[in-house]
Structure formats: structure tokens, C-alpha cells
Amino acid sequence: MNVQGNADGKSRYHEVHARSLADPEGFWAEAAKEIDWIEPPTRIFDPSQGTYGRWFAGGVVNTCYNALDRHVERGRADQVALIHDSPLTNSVTKLTYAELLNEVQALAAVMQDFGVAKGDRVILYMPMVPEAVVAMLACARIGAVHSVVFGGFAAKELATRIDDAQPKLILSASCGIEPGRIVHYKPLLDEAIRLAGSKPKACIVLQRPQLTCEMTPSRDYDWAGLRRKALNDGKSAACVPVAATDPLYILYTSGTTGVPKGVVRDNGGHLVAVKWSMFNLYGVKPGEVWWCGSDIGWVVGHSYIVYGPLFHGATSIMYEGKPVGTPDAGAFWRVISEHKAVAFFTAPTAFRAIRKDDPEGKFIRQYDLSKFRTLFLAGERADPPTVEWAEQQLKVPVIDHWWQTETGWCIAGNPVGLGMLPVKHGSPTVPMPGYQVDIVDEAAKPVGTNIMGSIVIKLPMPPGCLPTLWNQDERFKEAYLSEFPGYYKTSDAGYKDEDGYVFVMGRTDDIINVAGHRLSTGGMEEILASHPDVAECAVLGVKDAIKGEVPCGFLVLKAGVKRPPAEIEKEIIALVRDKLGPVAAFKLAITVGRLPKTRSGKILRGTIKKIADGESWTMPATIEDPKALEEIGEALKGRV
Ligand code: COA
Ligand code: AMP
């Protein structure tokens, strides 16, 4: 049976998904034919390797070859591979497959000159510029393991990642650009290296004309100078063969404590799964223009700004701008129309921001969107009113799909290439091939239809999903595999309906989702607790009309603190920005006399959240002192 879709109008989803579960090895062996292997795998799935088995064991491959060289060799040399569209710098830059390959070969050679070899880590702390894509692919080319750190994280977060990944080299830039603000990257980089115990050998720094930076002698090297010299000298690195099971990248994501988890992505499984998804899920054909409006610092950016479209021979748009304000709420439609994108992937929060500025969709009608076929949403639950608005305005299917940094690609979605299933608002539709998604109770027993429970994925996870956490097999097993034996725990809660549609309703841990960005409230509490005047604290996510949720910190000050609470609250807000970064959007700190607790001392977060969100709530029977909740209500007045 053909495991690729044929989009003949009738959905092949049920047949394809059933086959993927009944015969996973046959299914993925066939999907793997889309990849150019140096040595084909000896086993499609080897259950004896890794923490729960490994995909494509024995296979030898190069990810960069599959993204670039093979397309250049087979007729796509002059096709545009990457369109960088930046309203923030007022520029559009296009690179063909041949040009991108040339850049990647040169930078890869430069990195080899710094001694970077297969398995070495390289951290990228980069804004949304084409050089960031070149750097990721250059790492892949020489078998180095990249770890991209989102530009909105502060120095301390970068330092934690440097210590965990121990990179030989860091690639960065002088600045990022946010609306009305230049983000000075270099001081953050310097501070992170100062804080980190593990020091990189060197840094390659891209000087952007918007703000150049001082270089640290004997450590920092000018990107443009190295590039020029490598190209002049005709330097070019060849593809280094790596095992399919070797890591391609590490991407850190919020864990339940302040220490982020280093999600590992392998080469072979990632290639096969992400390539499969480009047509079968997203309905995009090679040669077409695709736009994923995320940031390369997030998993969505890895899979669908960089790797997926290039594995597929498509043209990928990389956007350095915002949905609104760069210059207006028509920015997305301008990009889709100007570059003739057939499909677009963004987060629901972006649509809420656009809808607020342009409720009647006037901007939408100013652009020719005739090539545009499908809108995909992910990163947070797509709330039905937002989906309905987008459908009415755009008149194309709006598809919510659910995934995690850990999975690297979609867990549940609506497969356009296999033939779309009916959309149900509030549901990301159905599990993708290889995913057996179950809803279970605390004893790991499946619950009935339409009953809420923990969402789990039957092991083994399909190709593309994380095999482990970087250097932390035990933490991986403990965090994901131990609570529900035989399953991977998603830490999302939800239910499945009578048609097998999955509904993802929220997290079961301390993770909150702020404007599509994943953040740990536990990590923020650690920062609040480090303030000398704070005796106790709790951070929780409260409803926000645009960002979905924003963090709100409650502080109990130490006895004897005489300073005005407002002053301390301001310091706390600055502290979170300084330690975690602006991306936390932590702007609400509220001093209270005490935190409402149960008699056994647990903070009543759920009830506090309901009060803050203006929802109805009942007094918990186990509360220590009911008055404490009234006090929270008083403290919140006029603040949220
Ligand atoms: N480097 C430095 N700072 C950054 C940054 C980066 N790469 N990205 C964001 N920030 C800063 C912002 O400037 C802002 O700072 P401020 O507090 O000084 O205003 C802060 O981090 C919060 O940013 P953001 O969450 O982006 O909010 P916003 O108010 O600037 O914009 C939206 C709101 C909805 C327009 C925006 O969040 C958005 O487009 N989100 C889409 C999310 C997305 O694509 N997620 C990927 C998953 S699919
Ligand atoms: P991240 O690892 O940053 O991609 O965040 C993953 C988390 O975001 C998931 O565990 C969910 O809680 C949430 N999420 C992502 N996409 C969706 C979606 N389509 N519906 C509901 N929740 C989502």
C-alpha cells in the first residue's frame, strides 16, 4: 500500500493510520524511500536500542544533503529555497538552492577550521536572519549538533544551555530587532559566557548594520570576514555521513523545574517523519511556496521554516516581523500575496492580535490571496472563536494541529494531503500515523469516549519524536515514561470523542502557554523566591485576550519588610525579565498577606486562577482558612 496521500478528494486517513499502527515497520520503511540514504537502515525499528527503541538503526545519512545537495543535483539549483522577508529591516532577500548550498558549504568549512567535528555541539543565539538557517544546515552538513537558543531568552537561560550542551563554538549576531527596540545580543552573549562554567572555544558574530558590537579579542570572529575569505579561497565542506540515530540537534524546552530539558532530535527519524508531513499533512507540493511564521528558536521553526520545506524541495519563507505593527495588521496577507504562499502556519495568538486591530478583515481584502489554500494553527489550543473568525475572513480551511517540542512534528492534525476530514472546532482532529493516542486515568487505564483524562502516546513513539533528553536518559524515563507504563506522557489533558477526534484542553503540569511560547511557572517561582524580600510566592497563568495566558505572580513578603510593596513588585518584574527574558511577558506581580492553602499546606492554585480569570469557583473543603481566598479576590481588584 502506498503510504503517501493522493488527495483525490476522499480521505485515505483511516486506512493509512490503521496501517501505520498494524505494521509500523512496513509503513515507515516505505516513507523512508523518500530520503536519500548513504547506507539504508538495517532495521526499521530496533526495540533493543535506546530508552524505548530506535528508528532506522544501521542507516547512514546526511540531513543537509537531503535538504540541499540532492535538489541542486536534480534540477532545483535555480529554484528559490529561502525567502527572507523582514519588514523590520525593510528588506526581502532570496536564496536559490544553489546559493544556499554554496553558503552552507563555506560556513561548514569555516566551522571545521575551528575544529568542529561530528558530534560536537554548536549553540546558535541568533535573530531571524538567513545566516541562522545557513548555520543550522552547516552544522547538519558536518555532523555537528546544533542547539538554537531563542533570542527572547536572557543571559542566564543561555548560560544554562551552554553548560548543558558544552558547545565548542557559539554563533551569534550583534543584535535582534523588535518593533521600536534593538535587542543588544552581544552583552547577553558575553554575560552568558561569563556565567557559564563551560567556555566555548570561539564565537562567530554576525555584525548587523542596525547595531554593530565590540568584539572580544581572541574569542570573537567576524562572520562576514570569515565567510568572504572562505568563499575567496574556494573552501567547501563535504557532507559528513552520520548514523540515522545520531543527534541532529538539541532544543531546550521548559521543564517542570527551572532547569530546561534538552530535547534530542535524531537525523533519520526526523528526516523521514518531517518529509512525510509536508505533503500528506500540509498538502504542499515540491516547488510550491510555504510559510511558517514561527521563530527558528522554537521547534516549529526548526521543522517547518528550515528542515521540512527544504527536505521537500519547496520554497520556505522566513519572516522577521510581527502579525501587527510591522507596519499593520495586513502584514501576513502582504507576505502571502507577494510571495504566493500556498499554505501558512502560525499560532492562534497572532490571529487574536490581528482580529483586535482589524476586526472586519479590511486588510485581508486588499491583497490577492488566490494562491493561498490552507491555514495551519498550533502552539496552543486554537480557541473556536478565533478559528471561526479566520475561516470567515480567509475562506480557506483553518486547521488546528497539536504537537510538542518533544515530538518534533504533529501528534494530531487534519491531513490535507491524505484528504481532509471534517473540521470540528476546538479539536486538532485525529492522531497522525504512528501515534496511538490514548486517554487514561491515574492507573494508566483507558477511559471512555468523551471522558477527560491524561493524554498519552503508546510506545514506541513514531520517527521524529525524541529518543531521549541530552545526556539524561534517566530524567527522560522519569519525566515521560514512568507514570504510565508503556506510554509516553504528553502532560496534556483532554478527551477523544466518538469519531476519534482528540480534544486537548490544557497541561497537567506547571507549564503555561504565553502567546504560543511554552514557559514553566515553577521556573518563574524560583526567580521570585530569589528576591531577598520575598518569603513565599506562587506564579500561575491567568487569561489574556491576545496571548491566551500571561503569568501572574503572587508574593508574600518577609516579616519586617518596610519598603512599599509596589517598589518590590517592580523589582520582581525586572528580575524575571533579567533572568528569564522578555519572552516571559511577566508584568503582573501582586503582593498579598498570605497564600490560600489546604490544611496540608498545598497552595490552592486552581482556585486562585479561577478567581483571577473571573470564573465561578467553589470553596475547597480542605481549605485552611477561607478568608485567604477573599483576600486574593481583593488583591486582584483592578490588577487583572
Ligand atoms: N528577541 C528578543 N526579544 C523578543 C523576541 C526575540 N526574538 N521575541 C519576542 N521578544 C520580546 C518582545 O519584544 C516582547 O518584549 P516587550 O516586553 O519589551 O514588549 C516580549 O518578548 C514578549 O514578546 P511576544 O510574546 O512576541 O509578544 P508581543 O507583545 O511582542 O507580540 C504577538 C504579541 C501575539 C504579536 C506575538 O506573540 C506573536 O506573534 N506570537 C506568535 C507566536 C509564535 O509564532 N509562536 C511559535 C509557536 S507556533
Ligand atoms: P511546545 O513544546 O512549545 O510546542 O508546546 C507544547 C504544548 O503546547 C503542548 O503540550 C500543548 O500544551 C500546547 N499545544 C501546542 N499545540 C496545541 C494545540 N493545537 N492544541 C492545544 N494545545 C497545544
| Position 598 in a domain | yes
Mean pLDDT of the chain: 96
Give pLDDT tens digits for 367-379: 999 999 999 999 9
| Position 632 in a domain | yes
Instruction: Check if 161 has its Cβ closer than 6 Å to any atom of ligand 2.
Output: no
Q: How high is the pLDDT of residue 9?
A: 57
Which-ligand-closest: CA of 129?
1
pLDDT score of 439 more than 80: yes
AA letter at 531: H
pLDDT, mean of residues 73-77: 98
Q: Pick from 170, 164, 163: which is nearest to 146 by CA?
A: 170
Q: How high is the pLDDT of residue 243?
A: 98
Residue 549 sits in which domain range? 515-636
Give pLDDT tens digits for 5-61: 444 458 999 999 999 999 999 999 999 999 999 999 999 999 999 999 999 999 999
The closest residue, in CA terms, to atom 23 on ligand 2 is 380
Q: Pick from 381, 534, 432: which is nearest to 13 by CA?
A: 432
Going through 254-365 in order, the beta strands assigned E by DSSP cover 261-266, 289-292, 315-319, 341-346
pLDDT score of 1 more than 90: no
- Indicate which atom in ligand 1 lies nearest the CA of residue 150: 7
| Position 568 in a domain | yes
Map grid coordinates 513588585 to a residue. Answer: 569
Report how far residue 44's alpha carbon sits from residue 246's, in angstroms, rounded to the nearest whole number: 15
- What's the 238 CA to ligand 2 centre distance in angstroms? 37
- What's the 583 CA to ligand 1 centre distance in angstroms? 6
Q: Starting at the edge strand that comes first in sequence, how are the strands of the sheet with 91-96 ordered? A: 91-96, 80-86, 315-319, 289-292, 341-346, 374-377, 398-400
Q: How high is the pLDDT of residue 254?
A: 84
- What's the 14 CA to ligand 2 centre distance in angstroms? 24
Per the structure, how many domains does the chain have? 1
pLDDT cut 70: percent of the chain above it: 98
CATH code, 565: 3.30.300.30
| Position 140 in a domain | no
Coil, strand or helix at 434: coil
- What's the 430 CA to ligand 2 centre distance in angstroms? 15
| Position 607 in a domain | yes
Indicate the pTM of the whole model.
0.95
- What's the 506 CA to ligand 2 centre distance in angstroms? 8
| Position 1 in a domain | no
Give pLDDT tens digits for 255-268: 766 678 999 999 99
Instruction: Check if 516 has its Cβ closer than 6 Å to any atom of ligand 2.
Output: no
pLDDT, mean of residues 446-458: 97
pLDDT, mean of residues 468-490: 97
For every residue of 211-262, DSSP letters joined together read B-----TTTEEEHHHHHHHHHHTT--PPPPPEETTSEEEEEEE--SSSSPEE
Which-ligand-closest: CA of 583?
1
Which-ligand-closest: CA of 514?
1
What lines the ligand 1 site, CB under 6 Å?
A: 151-152, 176, 178, 183, 293-295, 298, 300, 322-324, 346-347, 349-350, 353, 378-379, 515-517, 546, 582-583, 585
Instruction: Check if 489 has its Cβ closer than 6 Å to any atom of ligand 2.
Output: no
Q: How high is the pLDDT of residue 256?
A: 66
Q: How high is the pLDDT of residue 638?
A: 86
Pocket test for ligand 1, best of 344, 517, 550 (most atoms within 8 A of CB): 517
Give pLDDT tens digits for 323-341: 999 999 999 999 999 999 9
Map grid coordinates 525593510 to a residue. Answer: 90
| Position 449 in a domain | no
| Position 107 in a domain | no
Which-ligand-closest: CA of 344?
1
Cis before 327? omega within 30: yes
- What's the 637 CA to ligand 1 centre distance in angstroms? 27
pLDDT, mean of residues 419-440: 97
